[in-house]
Amino acid sequence: MADEKRGQAALFDALTTKGTAFTEAERRRLGLLGLLPTRVKSLDEQARHCWHEFSTRHDDLDKHIYLRALQDRNETLFYRVLSDHISETLPIVYTPTVGEACQRFGEIYRRPRGLFVSYPDRDQLDEVLDNRPQRDVDVIVVTDGQRILGLGDQGIGGMGIPIGKLSLYTLIGGIDPARTLPIVLDVGTDNVELLDDPLYLGWRHRRIHDDEYYAFIDRFVAAVQRHLPNVLLQWEDFATAHAQPILTRYRDQLLTFNDDIQGTAAVTLGALRGAANVAGRPLSQQQVVMLGAGSAGIGVLDMIRREMVNEGLPDQAAAERIWVVDVVGLLTDDRNDLSAEQRAFAQPAGRVAGWGVSGPAQLADVIHHVDVGVLLGLSTAAGAFTEPIVRELAGKTERPIIFPLSNPTSRAEAHPAELDHWTDGRALIATGSPFAPLVRDGVEYTVAQCNNVYIFPAMGLAVTAAQATRVTDEMMRVAATTLGDASPALADPGQPLLPPWPDVPGVAVRIARAAAAQAVADGVAPKRSDDELAERIAQVRWTPAYRSTTT
């Protein structure tokens, strides 16, 4: 091939290099003689060596740095190591370790990856997009770093999130790593510690707001549409005040979704469907309480309401079964501090008038006065699910469903072991961050983690294979129900509510097929049969194996 890389260029192209696995014939043909040790290793041998190296690292951040360095030098080997050890590496490349990596981004920065789209460069965004490392891109993950996990404003350090997310698009969804692009929008930071940190690599300026901010987002989206009109653009870790308006503004203009709002909602609904089936009480017959009224919490509730309606409830009846508590208290229609999205879940003030509370009702009041069966948390309020609250809830139902979903681990509303103890082992539990297995009567029970990795990689595979032009609400709901149908707890109530990590790539294919078929049904993808979609998914799905080179 005339444009085939040779010598150092071939050796150091992370997307195509084989390192010591280049064969003797390839070494001669590509000008690599003398540039590598004599022995030719297989990918299997390289992966075992890397796993040994990984295992010698003493702490999780050091392991994260090692894997990022491996990704920078050999993407195929990086993904092979991850695929061989999904359970062990997932918490390292993503939550919870990625949170610390974002906080220490400037300190651990080694090599650039993706695009840094800075507000001072707002008049040169076409040039910025044109400088992207790869011409053809299927998936972009973008953040502005303002609400990283439960850690708040991390500024440009938020770049760790798109990098980590796209690693999972490839690992789980099979998106070709050469066709992914992480982006951080550097619009300043209000984190004073970062502004004073000599290692901070971002624009040293307070965040831009309001009209300036949305005008910049408009410019960015317009540039993406000009350069990559068919790309999937995923919004990640934007502040509550911005997340829903951005999604609402662009969701009908391009192929886009917000993972915090829609991905979190889908994986939570998937786990809830499994839990409701185990409890023998469908969602449409449950009273659901959510602690937290941010964009993620409201997104979860919107999908729960959609599923209740799908199960046969009128929309208003579904809304009446959902109770939302924020930092002030219960959302009621007499409050004047609610957004339009929050107001859709505000209970009539008259429903709580007889509760005898002064001021807005709190979580404990709702649990006391309502026949609650499901308690969810997306509040980042550590320990908010207290023993008295949980015990009262457990007294109302045989199998209480309790999901402390806040990230990272330090912000969880309760720990699974506490919930298990306070409910005498009856609670059906899923968390947002990974926790150690529960031990009850000498038996270990795995705790399901409502990690969005169950959904977004499959959605990326679905829209890429189906050539979809939009991500619809029904595509997300079908993804959630397909995940729920894969719950191990359906066959054995002692099993977790969500599939184990090694099974997730296979489950992702099933979800992708369902979401792709829904895209066709919704009219946002070319007409194809289920068999044709399955074939397309198999064709586009990338696996970590060295490609043979032509002579």
- Where does a domain end: 82, 116, 133? 82
> Which pLDDT score is estimated for 489?
93
**294, burial (CB in 10 Å: exposed 0-12, middle 13-18, buried 19+):** buried
Give the integer Cα–Cα distance in Å for 145 and 160.
Answer: 9
Instruction: Indicate if 113 and 191 belong to the same structural domain.
Output: yes
**Does residue 548 sit within a domain?**
no
Q: Are 479 and 510 in contact (CB under 8 A)?
A: no
Indicate whether 244 and 266 sit together in one domain: no
396 is catalytic: no
Those residues of the chain that have pLDDT short of 70 are 1-2, 549-551
Pairing status of strand 428-431 against strand 438-440: unpaired
The confidence score (pLDDT) of residue 551 equals 46
Q: How far apart are CA 33 and CA 25, in angstroms?
A: 10
The answer to whether position 120 is within a domain reads yes
Place of tokens 């391009």: 254
* pLDDT at residue 550 in the model: 58
pLDDT digits (tens, 9 = 90+) for 403-456: 999 987 889 999 999 999 999 999 999 999 889 999 998 999 999 999 899 999
Choosing from 82, 110, 131, the residue where a domain stops is 82
- Residue 87 maps to a domain: no
Catalytic residue among 79, 94, 169, 250: 94
Q: Which residue has the tokens 């729920």?
A: 484
Same domain, 447 and 459: no
| The total number of structural domains that make up the chain | 4
The pLDDT value given to residue 4: 83
Question: Are residues 445 and 461 located together in one domain of the fold?
Answer: no
63 classed as catalytic? no
Residue type, 508: A
Same domain, 213 and 358: no
Binding site per annotation, positions for (S)-malate: 147, 407, 451
How far are the Cα atoms of 41, 149, 256, 258 from residue 296, in angstroms, in the given order?
46, 11, 16, 9
In this prediction, residue 549 carries a pLDDT of: 67
Catalytic residue among 63, 165, 213, 454: 165
In a domain? residue 207: yes
The answer to the question of residue 546 being in a domain is no
* 152 part of a folded domain: yes
Indicate if 142 and 57 belong to the same structural domain.
Answer: no
Position 1 in a domain:
no
Query: What are the helix (H) ranges across 370-449?
Result: 387-394, 416-422
Known binding-site residue numbers: 147, 236-237, 260, 407, 451
In a domain, 551, yes or no: no
- The reply to whether 272 and 302 lie within a common domain is yes
Provide the CA 341 distance to its chain's centre, in angstroms. Answer: 21
What's the pLDDT at 295?
Answer: 86
In this prediction, residue 532 carries a pLDDT of 98
Do 341 and 303 share a structural domain? Answer: yes
CATH classification of the domain holding 275: 3.40.50.720
| pLDDT of amino acid 494 | 87
Q: Are 165 and 259 in contact (CB under 8 A)?
A: yes
Same domain flag for 233 and 275:
no
In this structure, are 289 and 379 located in the same domain?
A: yes
CATH number at residue 202: 3.40.50.10380
* CATH number of the structural domain spanning residue 17: 1.20.1370.30
Last residue of a domain, one of 213, 232, 254: 254
**pTM recorded for the entire structure:** 0.92
**Which pLDDT value is given to residue 1?**
47
Q: Which domain holds residue 418?
A: 262-451
Does 356 lie in the same domain as 220?
Answer: no
